[in-house]
Amino acid sequence: MHHIYHTEGLILSSSDFGEAGKRYAIFTRNLGMIYARATGVRKMPSKLRFVLQDFSCVKVDLVQGKNFWRITSASKTNKLELLSKNRDKLQVFGNIAKLLIRLLAAAEPNEKLFADLLQGLLILENSKTAEDRRNVEVIIVLRALADLGYIGGGDMLENFVKSPLEEELVYKISKSRSEVLRHINQALKASNL
């Protein structure tokens, strides 16, 4: 008998496999980054069809198989529902998702990163301007790199990395965005990702 893991997760990407299945890259609160499959999810009568959508926040039940995780059930959390209705905000989430897939190779739990990412996406969901969206993206990427150890604290970055992630931080980073971007690009270059 297999153990069923219950966790909250952010679906970062998906791809079709087989006749009606899908593979998912899911960053979970308790398990870290996992790659899971759901069979029959593309069939019309599938209950998971409308729950397991890219860039959604879900509660998911998983079983670990020999070579991959299998999704047994999932439900919506009602978080990030508005994000999927705005193309520009979805583009920012997509950029962040691609980076996280590159950075998070192993299934290691990182609750701080998960909490930062979810809070940042909730702020992104409520952002009003293109400037705010750019600032939120920079903050999320900076904090992700810091949480994963790719970037140091430094005096200037310390406030953006250690402060609680709130909307006020979005306005503060605007003045230092080009400097923060320089640090982000250096960290990504040094990581060879």
Question: Is 32 within 8 Å of 106 (Cβ atoms)?
Answer: yes
Domain identity same for 185 and 112: yes
Instruction: Indicate the number of domains in the chain.
Output: 2
- CA–centroid distance for 136 within its chain: 13
Write out the H or E segment, with its range, that includes residue 133. Answer: helix 130-147
- Scan for tokens 């508005």, then name that residue: 82
- Provide the pLDDT for residue 66: 84
- Report residue 11's pLDDT band, with 50, 70 and 90 as the boundaries: very high
- Provide the pLDDT for residue 70: 95
Question: For residues 67 and 90, which has the higher predicted lDDT (pLDDT)?
Answer: 90
What average pLDDT does the structure give for the chain? 90
- Show which of 42, 76, 110 is a domain's final residue: 76
- Provide the pLDDT for residue 24: 96
DSSP string, 60-114: EEEEE-SSSEEEEEEEE-SSSTTGGG-HHHHHHHHHHHHHHHHH--S----HHHH
Domain identity same for 26 and 70: yes
Domain identity same for 89 and 59: no
Q: How far apart are CA 108 and CA 87, in angstroms?
A: 31
Q: How far apart are CA 27 and CA 103, in angstroms?
A: 11
Mean pLDDT of 94-101: 94
Mean pLDDT of 149-169: 79
Question: For 26-83, how does the pLDDT look when each residue is reduced to its tens digit (9 = 90+)?
Answer: 999 999 999 999 999 999 989 898 999 999 999 999 999 888 899 999 999 989 988 8
Task: Look up the domain containing 21 and give its range.
Answer: 4-76
Residue 1, pLDDT > 90, answer: no
Domain identity same for 97 and 66: no
Question: For residues 54 and 165, which has the higher predicted lDDT (pLDDT)?
Answer: 54
